[in-house]
Amino acid sequence: MIRSAALLFREHGIAGTSLADVLEHSGAPRGSIYHHFPGGKNQLAAEATVWAGSLVTRMLVEAGGPLEVVGALFGFWRTELTMHPQSGCPVLAAALAEAESGDAYQAAREVFGTWERAIADLLVGRGVAEERAVSAATLLIAATEGAVVLARAKGDLRALDRVEREMTRTIGHLLVDSA
């Protein structure tokens, strides 16, 4: 159910996804949602946000280096939007749903912080000063999320290509300047 919720939230947002939608998508029996998620939709949304965030965190950690992270992030979204043009980031959906799901909003804050830290740590490990590393990590996350929104809204992946190119240059220059 967590995976189904995350997949539905990425396309319809939290407010646009009902528990019935999650049950139908997951194939779970009707009574199981409150058995597994006594906190209801709020708890499910928070757990789906953490689950989705952990997939990206793993990708960041396994990418190798800062430039590989840029390629991995944009490659992931290029594939995702090619296969599912109405996809978006379920973590962003949770961040935008503060009023509907406070727990998911808090989970999104934590996930974004984890992503920032993972990217910043890679940069610091390559000699970038802490403050610059955190700023660059924030920029990369914001640029990626923005490019996904633009690509989805325009129905065109060129925004991903352009932003990836600029982020590769930016991170590359940062690494050279810090060497």
**pLDDT the model gives residue 112:** 98
Residues with pLDDT less than 50, the chain: none
Length of the chain: 179
**pLDDT the model gives residue 102:** 84
pTM for this structure?
Answer: 0.91
**pLDDT the model gives residue 39:** 86
DSSP 129: -
Class of domain 49-178 as given by CATH:
mainly alpha
**pLDDT the model gives residue 35:** 85
**pLDDT the model gives residue 101:** 62
- CA of 170: how far to CAs of 9, 38, 67, in Å? 31, 45, 10
**pLDDT the model gives residue 115:** 98
**pLDDT the model gives residue 13:** 87
Range 107-146 burial, b when 16+ CB lie within 10 A, else e? bbeebbebbbebbbbbbbebebeeeebbbbbebbbebbbe
For the chain, the straight-line distance linking the first and the last C-alpha, in angstroms and rounded, comes to: 46
**pLDDT the model gives residue 98:** 67
